[in-house]
Structure 1
């Protein structure tokens, strides 16, 4: 197949779950199909475009400057966004250059199928008919949960407004797309109920089992590790909840508990808050595997859901047992006490962590069960074959306008 694939960014350096999911699927598809990849170019990141031949036959960089978050320009964008029908998370990616590039490509090349990766690029597509919407979250649900968990009235109002706009936008795009791909059965069900669509199917995430295979030489450096980009609000919110409400309870029984928070772009406020020498906030790391191999337990303390949950499958592939909130593992085929430990209150979460920290046999049992789960069901080759079947079922009209 000749596939047009549009995303907001190139895939290297690969630091986010959505990037990993796309990269691994495209690497598999690239073996058998002709991928044309379109994304915004970041001049400060030449690696992105340079490595695009790893997963595409041809790449098309589109100039666009994203306003940095926590900057005066971003604040101005937020204010301007209050008067738009789109949520601010979509407005950041609105681009005449991208709109024109996509229109030109689909008028000149007869693609078999067109894929819009995440909701955001759709802001530059006039007509989603003939496109597959490749979702990694139910974006509406994330904003609704932000509104529910906001601590101030101003934040509740802001997130509530964004949630309503996101619902209208996401529902409209999903209804007009040729097909929608959800990341889990749970997300598929939500989309059917909230968006009123039937042309949706779920394709699970995968994991590179060979890449994460635990070496015999792995040594323990930390007790607990949380892996996730700190510029994504659910991860940051979960980190703060764990450090302020859960870790003190763990320290009552295990005072020397060592914690690693491994993820890019931690805000200065998070770094400033943590003066504890037993807490390591790493920022960007070149390789996440040593942190998984070197920790007794991987934690997923999320209270705002959404996403690929790659961190859970990666921990399982690394044979590191997982403690998660219900939302943190939402939509995954995991079982409390068998492949994972699940807890939602500070006391219960601390208790599950302590059980595993003090019981090496239970750690080994949970880790072995988790590894077997991903080994049997979630290799990237297996997952991509399912996605490939979905793409083949969608017939993209030739030379359809973007």
Structure 2
């Protein structure tokens, strides 16, 4: 498709790739930019989030980054008045909407790539080119799970119902609707009231194994100098499932481990820890590090990396990163979805029960050599199965661009 260009829309600035959704959006954008000139429209939560705008400008032919300044209560009122999900009104911005119209009017846009369902609202109904929507995972199911758990049940049930309608409408609008794993694709398809004409595809998450290379990283001295064992959990710590997982480890798992190993420590690593998590720092053996410039030294210093999520959609980047760093990973079945690793060979999977999870951790501590073998097997697994270029290979066909026509973005 010589001379054709692509419009890329994302709910967050895809630079730097330092959190789950940004990591996937970043690599998706890199793959798109290798196919054709790309115009990028996205939002940031604050002016501080614009730190990656220079890198975006170097990649994109043009771009528009707007600050999402609408207060959540106002977004909620707009959503109620318009009978829309709060997720849509919170990410609507008139300036970005006008920029999209201008780009479509002035540039030879042959395809639009939409990252996350919130951004589908910017695709005009009369656009005649291809539209690829990367839902990543089924957001409506996540809100339904929150409601079932008793968390703001009326609001979350409403959000789940209306988001499900949006997700289905996007499926009918799109040339292809992409999910992050077979499990998410099946879940999405199972929730469609009318599946006819919805083209569901899977593009998995990858990992940058050259960056997450244990041979290139020195374990954090502040941790490595202490006797341990050391258990590490990473993530965006104001994200509810991460917060709940870390609180559970601190309250139900670590005490069981410390009953056997009094010097065991739990390290909570990631930006924006909630007040509840910050209070965990008062508990014996718990350190809340908050935002760090580089997560790799923490992973390298870990006896074991934990991922005990009970609500998890898609593929967990934190798990792939720890595996790439050749660390043994202990995780729940929910956090294991979307990665075809084998329990006992590439990682350890245990149910969300405090004593059982703690015992699996203790078994790992007692068998240090086995843990090292597990970590080495984990790295071999991600090198063979989870490289980003292999994950993104189907994108060219979905967008209608021949692979041989790829170019290198400058």
CA distance in 2, matches of 1:2, 1:124: 17
For structure 1, the residue ranges without an aligned partner over 5 or more in a row are 68-72, 395-402
Q: Which moved more, 1:351-360 or 1:46-55?
A: 46-55
Shift of 1:288: 1.0
Of 273, 285, 290, the match for 1:278 = 285
Q: Which moved more, 1:355-364 or 1:10-19?
A: 10-19
**Structure 1 counterpart of 2:406:** none
Q: Is the 8 A contact 1:95 1:124 kept in 2?
A: no
Q: 1:333 aligns to what SS in structure 2?
A: coil
CA distance in 2, matches of 1:30, 1:364: 38
Of 154, 166, 173, the match for 1:157 = 154
Q: Is the 8 A contact 2:257 2:362 kept in 1?
A: yes
Q: Is the 8 A contact 2:131 2:399 kept in 1?
A: no
CA distance in 2, matches of 1:84, 1:351: 51
State the TM-score, normalizing by the size of structure 2.
Answer: 0.87
Which of the pair has the greater relative contact order for Cα pairs under 8 Å at 6+ separation? 1
Of 3, 7, 18, the match for 1:4 = 7
Structure 2 CA distance for partners of 1:103 and 1:80, relative to 1, 3 Å: closer
Shift of 1:214: 0.4
Deviations 1:270-329 (A, max 9, x none): 212431352221221111111111111111111112143111111111001111111111
- RMSD of aligned residue pairs (Cα, Å): 2.3
**Structure 1 counterpart of 2:374:** 366
Q: Is the 8 A contact 1:116 1:133 kept in 2?
A: yes
Q: 2:112 aligns to what SS in structure 1?
A: strand
How is 1:1-400 mapped onto 2 (pairs within 5 angstroms)? Answer: 2-40=5-43, 42-61=46-65, 63-67=66-70, 73-75=71-73, 77-78=75-76, 81-127=79-125, 130-150=130-150, 155-195=152-192, 196-197=194-195, 198-215=198-215, 218-219=218-219, 221=224, 223-276=230-283, 278-344=285-351, 345-392=353-400
CA distance in 2, matches of 1:165, 1:216: 46
Deviations 1:183-204 (A, max 9, x none): 0111111122212444011011
Q: Is the 8 A contact 2:7 2:113 kept in 1?
A: yes
Q: Which moved more, 1:241-250 or 1:255-264?
A: 241-250
Q: Is the 8 A contact 1:141 1:305 kept in 2?
A: no
Q: 2:259 aligns to what SS in structure 1?
A: helix
CA distance in 1, matches of 2:34, 2:401: 19
Structure 2 CA distance for partners of 1:295 and 1:54, relative to 1, 3 Å: farther
Shift of 1:80: 5.4
For structure 2, the residue ranges without an aligned partner over 5 or more in a row are 403-410
Shift of 1:3: 1.6
CA distance in 1, matches of 2:187, 2:386: 22
Q: Is the 8 A contact 1:26 1:55 kept in 2?
A: no
Deviations 1:201-251 (A, max 9, x none): 101111111111102774463611111101222211222222222222222
State the TM-score, normalizing by the size of structure 1.
Answer: 0.88
Q: How many residues align?
A: 385
Q: Which moved more, 1:188-197 or 1:326-335?
A: 188-197
CA distance in 1, matches of 2:23, 2:380: 21
Shift of 1:369: 1.6
Q: Is the 8 A contact 1:87 1:166 kept in 2?
A: yes
Q: 2:39 aligns to what SS in structure 1?
A: strand
CA distance in 2, matches of 1:235, 1:271: 13
CA distance in 2, matches of 1:381, 1:307: 19
Shift of 1:19: 0.6
Shift of 1:64: 3.6
Q: Which moved more, 1:11-20 or 1:124-133?
A: 124-133
CA distance in 2, matches of 1:5, 1:181: 15
Shift of 1:334: 1.8
